[in-house]
Structure 1
Amino acid sequence: IDVAHGVILDVEPTPAHRTAEVESTKTMVERVEERFDLTPHRLIGDTAYGTAPMLGWMVEEKGIEPSVPVWDKSERRDDTFPCSDFLWDAGKKEYRCPAGKALKHNWRPFKKPRSHITQADTVVYRASQRDCTACPMKAKCCPNTPMRKIARSIHEDAREMARCIRKTVQYQQSRCERKKVEMLFAHLKCILRLDRLRLRGLNGARDEFTLAAAVQNLRRLAKLASPPRPFGGQIASTAQEIG
């Protein structure tokens, strides 16, 4: 949906599954680029669009500004140091704990280079067990493990960019503009009675969504193309002159 004008550019039906709904965004963005030669400069969505792979696709592949909350489960609830208390050194590619000790993904050299990327698309950074054992902050950092570990996503740069955008005024404006999208969905359900589908299957859903989007766009076109109405005072004065 074009937020600036309230126009539906593309539709894509999916099963009622969050992952499928998020992945359909990639299909619609690429299809709009191919058909209309339009590339969005920002994407507004909820937390479902704030996963690391989705943010990586937006920032690293498409260059889209992510105005979405970050899906973050790294914060701890046991009153120990969260991951945000560890400083990332991009030059050395290592973390620094609150005590100033290093957390590295590789403490010894290997004959064959390794990527150290796990199946979850993360790189695990570990502190030295010797440093953690002698550290006076161990009870506040890793009381139940020999050393502290941090799993860093391979898309962490994109996640950090989304966190920085969330602190800006433009992000708050995007939150307000997202109401336009929700308003279109509410109009489809309440006014056009698209609260349930009549046709079965994804093809039937695609046909219904396409027709409903066409109706919405025609209504929007009529509103944008119609000339502005004069104010009531101007109408009254004109009527008096004619009389």
Structure 2
Amino acid sequence: MMGRQTAPAKLFYDFDLESHIPADHLLRKVDRFLDLGDIRARLRPFYSHLGRPSIDPELVVRMLLIGYLTGIRSERRLCEEVHVNLAHRWFCRLGLDGRVPDHSTFSKYRHGKFRDSDLLRLVFEGVVARCIEEGLVGGAGFAVDASLILADVAKMNSSAQAEWDIDAIDTQKAPRAVREYLETLDDAAFGAATPVLPKFVSHADPASQWTAAQKRPAVFTYSDNYLIDTDNAVILDVEATRSIRQAEVGAARTMVDRVEQRFGLKPTWLTADTAYGSAETLDWVVRAKKIVPFIPVFDKSTRTDGTWSRSDFIWEPENDRYLCPEGHELLQYRRNYSDPSRGQPKEGRKKYRAQKSVCQACPSKLRCCPNADARFVTREEHEDVRDLARECVASEVYKKIAGPRRRKVEMLFAHLKRILGLGRLRLRGPCGAKDEFTLAAIAQNLRKLAKLRPQMTMMEVTV
């Protein structure tokens, strides 16, 4: 006989929410590593001792983390999901009849107490500390990289840089993103990163960068910067910047210093792509931080017309000279000056020249300097650390260890965009980008902990 499902009529129910959450559920596995006990002490100075009790800030943080852990981008939908989903209610400590806050609560907390207290940074560093405690961070090798994330703006709502008048902006009536842009004009990660102005400026979010770096039609973006430990791809630090090389390189320095100050971690070696291989950056890595650079050199000295490039010349530091492939020497100067200040290089760049008579009689002149009487080679400032970086990149350690491990940070960005759904920002302004990137990094580290440190079952404990 065909059965029929009917709802039993009961006045009282014996329902245990804890028993209805599977042991292998993502939120249950993540909850073991999430400690939010310090957030109330951080937020206490920002609350009055009078008035009605506010919404629990821990509830707001847990709901935000659910959104980033599960890829729910809309806060309205997030409130709906928490209302009907038992696992979400369990994670947020709401029980069966707890009231879910309105979606506008997130905006009030985000633009108020959370940013004033830098609460999300506190939560992020707490998760990183837990990763270190669980043994997921080796500390020997770090990798750094940046990825472009689309800003929440329309390309049509923008103006050319020449038409953008900062002095005409009314700070009292301007949107929050515009006010944040004005506050970051002297910030090394944004306005002060470079004197070069972008071609176009967005009206809704002027701090976003107009760029075509992805070899596609130009768009407005922010850069999400990660510093990771290469053992298990744990994100040690995160930073939001403009999408230009100078800002991204500056963020790398900031993150390396901050991780050392906060956690006492200093890597033996650092790996990155060519964008971080400038002379100044390599000099900072090698001399200031004493770190081995597995970073390809940012170099434009290679010639494309078939003639000899600077790399074809042999440098002899003991004699302060270059030797050309024909064995002739190139010297910086060929006389002794009575005034020691004369003949010294300007701006750190040195020029080494061959003798005109030697070049004119050389059989390889057409391969060396066909359009000049004599060949000269420049030696940039910090060229010794650039040579060291070239040796490191050519080594077997880079090919077998550092190079492959650098791709782990690229995989994190792929996971960020494809799994967590953060291909486009939902919030505007530098602070909005910072909040979204920080929450996403917290979610990725929590998922890493849940994957690599699973909870043992009772059977495993008995055995």
Greater displacement, 6-15 / 190-199: 190-199
Count of residues in correspondence between the two structures? 231
State the shift of 1:15 in Å.
0.6
2:328 to 101, 112, 123: 101
- The 5 Å alignment of 1:142-161 reads 142-161=369-388
Greater displacement, 138-147 / 121-130: 121-130
Alignment partners' CA distance in 2, 1:156 and 1:228: 54
Alignment partners' CA distance in 2, 1:115 and 1:219: 60
Determine what percentage of the aligned residue pairs are the same residue. Answer: 49
1:224 to 426, 443, 452: 452
State the shift of 1:42 in Å.
1.6
Greater displacement, 94-103 / 27-36: 94-103
Q: Which TM-score applies when normalising by structure 1?
A: 0.86
Alignment partners' CA distance in 2, 1:117 and 1:195: 47
Q: Which TM-score applies when normalising by structure 2?
A: 0.47
SS of 1:10's equivalent?
A: strand
Change (3 A) 1:228 1:91: farther
State the Cα RMSD in Å: 2.3
State the shift of 1:68 in Å.
2.2
Change (3 A) 1:109 1:24: same
Alignment partners' CA distance in 1, 2:311 and 2:392: 17
1:211 corresponds to which residue? 439
1:181 aligns with 2:409: yes
State the shift of 1:35 in Å.
0.9
Are the counterparts in 1 of residues 294 and 392 from structure 2 also a CA contact under 8 Å?
Answer: yes
Are the counterparts in 2 of residues 14 and 21 from structure 1 also a CA contact under 8 Å?
Answer: yes
Q: Deviations over 1:170-218 (max 9, x none)?
A: 1122222122211111111122221112222222211111111111111
1:12 aligns with 2:235: no
Greater displacement, 214-223 / 103-112: 103-112
Q: Which residue identity is paired with 2:313?
A: F
1:51 to 278, 282, 299: 278
Larger Rg, first or second structure (1 or 2): 2
State the shift of 1:13 in Å.
0.8
1:28 corresponds to which residue? 255
SS of 1:186's equivalent?
A: helix
User: Structure 2: which 5+ residue stretches go unaligned?
Assistant: 1-227
Alignment partners' CA distance in 1, 2:367 and 2:243: 42
Alignment partners' CA distance in 2, 1:41 and 1:72: 24
Answer 1 or 2: which has greater helix percent: 1
State the shift of 1:89 in Å.
1.0
2:423 to 179, 190, 195: 195
